[in-house]
Amino acid sequence: MAVKFCEGSASGVYKYVQTEGYQAESKIDRWLYGNYGMVPSGNIWERRGKSVKNAANTSVLALPDRLLALWEGGMPHALDLDSLETIGTDNLEFNSVPLVYSAHPKVDPISGHIYNFGISIGIQPKLNLYESDRTGKVIKHSQTVLPRLTTFHDFLLVGKYLVFCIPPLEIQPLPIMLGLASYSESIRWKPELGTQILVFDRDDLSLVSSFTTEPWFQWHFANGYIDADNNIVCDLVRYPDFDTNQFLGEVASGETKTEAIGTLWQLVIDPTASKLISNTQLIDRSCEFPTVAQAQVGKDWRYTYLAVHKPDTILHQELVGTIGRFDRHTNILTAADLEKHLYPTEPIHVVDKFDPNQGWILTVIYDGKAHQSEVWIYDCDRLEELPICRLGLPSVVPMGFHGTWNPK
């Protein structure tokens, strides 16, 4: 879905990304492929080769001439920026190895260069790093052997570094390949392995530092910067274990029983000595989807915007119930006052094109009572006040993951 604002009016476009898997399933009007929490349909022989599909459903990246719909384990799909018509899979002019392009690219706010990663599956799993110019064309690539087949969702661009935290997960690929188990069922939590921290030089994509510390799991990072002592300071939403995997499986069933609480933490890393200096919880409120202003990516920043749970909800029974702003200078979390039947998605920060000091927060709200969706716009400094705009949408937008703002 895209919402376009222009000269006091707004318009919306709804389109399904026409992936190969989506077209095949639409043609016969039933599920064929497995994915994160489901196995392929049919008997064991019919499931072969259908263990996963590129769903193009996790995030988007706006390039000057097209929009990329991103997934976790394959190529992006290019869409028309205006109509959202699917152009097709896009290899970003990269032909060295099969392009595996993750859903959380980082864009340098000065150069416009794009950094991303992907995991190549094989006898020796490898972490691929990519640097692209502002058009999306891959101009640098490196590979680093991973100790095991694992998964991680996000990373950080921090000054001159790229930072990864690899949780203690191990994937058993054979049940997935045979269609006997879903992807989520084939991931094992192994806390004895600890969390591995990898730090890369962003200029040549070479490994600078690698070490192992205490176990935790994270989906998303907020941001990071280099402090006066040349240490890496970064914030992330940290979980004590991998119960979030069980919770996500239950969300699809419509009845959640597992409590998975992620809270905002700060890491301080010494990349020269290869050690974690400190690991500190910043707030104890369950939250997810941390974002910052695009101009602050990789730099010291003040405000982190989050989707958060309300304090009076039973966490395992609800998705996030509001959005908030965490002030890193005062350690104060300010949350919007949403009624219980309203559910927001990821908060997206937007800078006013006429005033760089003015910012807005956009989020898509699902109204469970009225069964409708709206785009709400807040003054980013006044989340505790009413939104300045509530834009009704023509039909419901299913709860999703990530979005972006394209100022052009």
List per-residue pLDDT tens for the chain, 408 residues long. 999 998 888 998 999 999 999 999 999 998 888 888 888 888 877 787 787 889 999 999 999 999 999 998 899 999 999 999 999 999 999 988 889 999 999 999 999 999 999 999 888 999 999 999 999 999 999 999 999 999 999 999 999 999 999 999 999 988 888 888 888 889 999 999 999 999 999 999 999 999 999 999 999 999 999 999 999 999 999 999 999 999 887 876 778 888 889 999 999 999 999 999 999 999 999 999 999 999 999 999 999 999 999 887 766 667 789 999 999 999 999 999 999 899 999 999 999 888 888 999 999 999 999 999 999 999 999 999 999 999 999 999 988 899 999 987
How far is CA 313 from each of CA 33, 281, 306, 321, 393, rounded to the nearest angstrom? Answer: 35, 21, 17, 9, 27
Which amino acid, one-letter code, is at 228?
A
For 59-91, b/e burial (b = at least 16 CB within 10 A) is bbbbbeebbbbbbbbbbbbbbebeebebeebbe
- Asked if the 14-293 domain carries CATH number 2.60.120.380, the reply is no
Which pLDDT belongs to residue 316? 61
Contact 40, 32 (CB under 8 A): yes
Contact 345, 403 (CB under 8 A): yes
Question: Which phi-psi region, left, alpha or beta, contains residue 4 (left: φ > 0; alpha: ψ -120 to 50)?
Answer: beta
Contact 22, 32 (CB under 8 A): no
Cα separation, 46 vs 43, in Å, equals 5
The DSSP bridge partners found for residue 163 are 156, 199
Alpha carbons within 13 A on the beta-carbon side of 343: 19
Contact 259, 305 (CB under 8 A): no
Express each pLDDT in 107-125 by its tens digit: 999 999 999 999 998 889 9
Cα separation, 278 vs 266, in Å, equals 8
Which pLDDT belongs to residue 213? 97
Cα separation, 271 vs 273, in Å, equals 6
Cα separation, 170 vs 386, in Å, equals 45
Contact 309, 237 (CB under 8 A): no
Contacts of 162 by beta carbon, 8 Å cutoff, 6+ apart: 106, 115, 117, 129, 155, 156, 199, 200, 201, 202, 205
For CA atoms 298, 205, 239, 247, the dihedral sign is positive
The DSSP bridge partners found for residue 170 are 188
Which pLDDT belongs to residue 250? 80
Biggest CA pair distance of the chain: 60
Cα separation, 115 vs 107, in Å, equals 6
pTM: 0.95
Which pLDDT belongs to residue 8? 81
The DSSP bridge partners found for residue 106 are 115
Cα separation, 348 vs 306, in Å, equals 9
Which pLDDT belongs to residue 23? 95
Report DSSP letters for 155-217, one per residue: -EEETTEEEEEE-SEEE-HHHHHTTSS-TGGGEEE-GGG-EEEEEEETTT--EEEEEEES--E
Domain boundaries, the chain: 14-293, 302-408
Task: Name the helix (H) or strand (E) containing 140.
Answer: strand 138-145
